[in-house]
Structure 1
Amino acid sequence: MDTTSLWVTARLALCVTPLLLLVALPLSYFLVFSRIRGKRFIEATCNLPLVLPPTVLGFYLLVAMGPASPLGKSWEALTGGRLVFSFSGLVAASMVYSLPFAIQPLKTSFSKLDTRLVESAYILGLSPLKTFVRVILPNSLGGLASAGVLVFAHTVGEFGVALMIGGSIPGKTRVASISIFEHVEMLDYAGASTLSLVLLVFSYMVLLILGSIK
């Protein structure tokens, strides 16, 4: 069994999940509680990876993160390495790809909160930040857990974006889904079957976990 690709996949998911939750928490708060005009356009942009084909998203990320782009040039000047076809680039692309899977559970959880709790916190003089930390977050742990599980699982199963941004560098960017594809290309169905079984069992466990979260 290709344990190296499984390790890269696990490492990627473990990096993406906490980083994306840090981004999604304030963004979800903004989308639920903000009253500014045009909020629906921001929300549509965040949800775009849900409907955009992964190869299309991967292509635009490749252009945005390539060595000729401002982002790519800045990264290379800062680190000395390229953003594309690197693990760091794969993490960044995966965060964009899995963003809706973090935002949706958090938005749902925030929307279900009793608004009187938030209003009472403001009346007592708590700032928006303290209200978020002391009131909103403790009452949204179920949504936070669901978001974390979904992001982790979605990152484990990604293919198109991972291939476009990370390529297939053994031990560095070749994740399990790409390894399965390459096993099939080489007619190594036994190797593909073993890896597929691992991901199947993992996916089933994820569904059981999500079903137990309240």
Structure 2
Amino acid sequence: MSAEWQAIWLTLKLASVTTAILLVIGTPIAWWLARTRHWLRQPIAAIVALPLVLPPTVLGFYLLVLLGPRGPVGELMLSLGLDTLPFTFEGLVVASVIYSLPFTIQPLQGAFESVSNRMLEVAGTLRASALDRFFTVAVPLARSGFLTAAVLSFAHTIGEFGVVLMMGGNIPGETRVLSVAIYDQVETLQYEQAHWLAGGMLAFSFVVLVTLYLVNGRLGRGRLS
């Protein structure tokens, strides 16, 4: 497999794993943010949104410090006989999950906030438990939010550069993702190869957004009909 295809495969693998993890951990957080009135709601919402305004290299740097062999988490992992996460695929996953967190939670939170309390109350009168009401009422009504969260998280992970470069470096077949491969090619003046990869990412991003808008538009019309 060529270096370019290795980078493409690794990027798709990273985006898939990251999106799956984000949907699992992001759903309960988004539900809590949408329904709670606890005083911690705003601080936690701010923490979730922090990657939107924080430079990726800053986030990557602090993750590197935290998870490195001299960081508190890295030292703990070494004491348990485990390898540290920087410059590994697993480290890329951790960095990507944190960096793409708002792209999962914010669409889900918005979708959950639009779920009618009346419908949840009616389900409660039919003796549906809180868990039943969540899976049989809230989740189906928030399906557009799940779609948006999954697509945006996947696409955002594919486009990551600063945070994955800081956390994973540039190890072919291990941490060299597509954005880093394009940077390498530009740095070595291989513009033709860079055009192919960059053009592919541009076309992918455009198709993803158009598809998302079309599907969400149909789901919106379906709810109104």
TM exceeding 0.5: yes
Provide the residue aligned with 1:137 in structure 2: 139
In structure 1, the residue corresponding to 2:77 is in which secondary structure?
A: helix
* Alignment deviations for residues 92-146 of structure 1 (CA, whole Å, 9 cap, x no partner): 1100000000011111111111111112223333332222112111111111011
Equivalent residue in structure 2 for 1:125, among 124, 127, 133: 127
Aligned residue in 2 for 1:71: 73
Shift in Å, 1:202: 0.6
Partner AA of 1:190 in structure 2: E
Indicate the residue corresponding to 1:196 in structure 2.
198
Deviates more, 1:134-143 or 1:87-96: 134-143
Structure 2, unaligned runs of 5 or more: 217-225
How many pairs align?
214
Supply the distance in 2 between the matched residues of 1:97 and 1:24 (Cα, whole angstroms). Answer: 13
Question: Partner amino acid for 1:12?
Answer: L
Q: TM-score normalized by structure 1?
A: 0.95
Q: Which residue number in structure 2 is paired with residue 8 of structure 1?
A: 10
Given the two structures, how large is their TM-score scaled by the length of structure 2? 0.91
Check whether the contact 1:9–1:156 (CA below 8 A) recurs between aligned residues. Answer: yes
RMSD value over aligned CA atoms? 1.4
Indicate the residue corresponding to 2:219 in structure 1.
none
- Which has the higher mean CA deviation after the structures are superposed, 147-156 or 109-118? 109-118
Q: How much has 1:77 moved relative to structure 2?
A: 4.9
Matches within 5 A, 1:130-209: 130-209=132-211
Q: Distance in 2 between matches of 1:102 and 1:46?
A: 10
**Cα separation, 2, equivalents of 1:189 and 1:211:** 32
Closer, same or farther: CA 128–79 of 1 in aligned 2, 3 Å: farther
Identity across the alignment (%): 45
C-alpha distance 20-77 of structure 1, shift in aligned 2 (>3 A): farther
Find the counterpart in structure 1 of residue 26 from structure 2.
Answer: 24
SS in 2 for 1:36: coil
The within-5 A match list for 1:98-117 is 98-117=100-119
1-side partners of 2:77 and 2:208: how far apart?
A: 35
Distance of 2:122 and 2:71 partners within structure 1 = 48
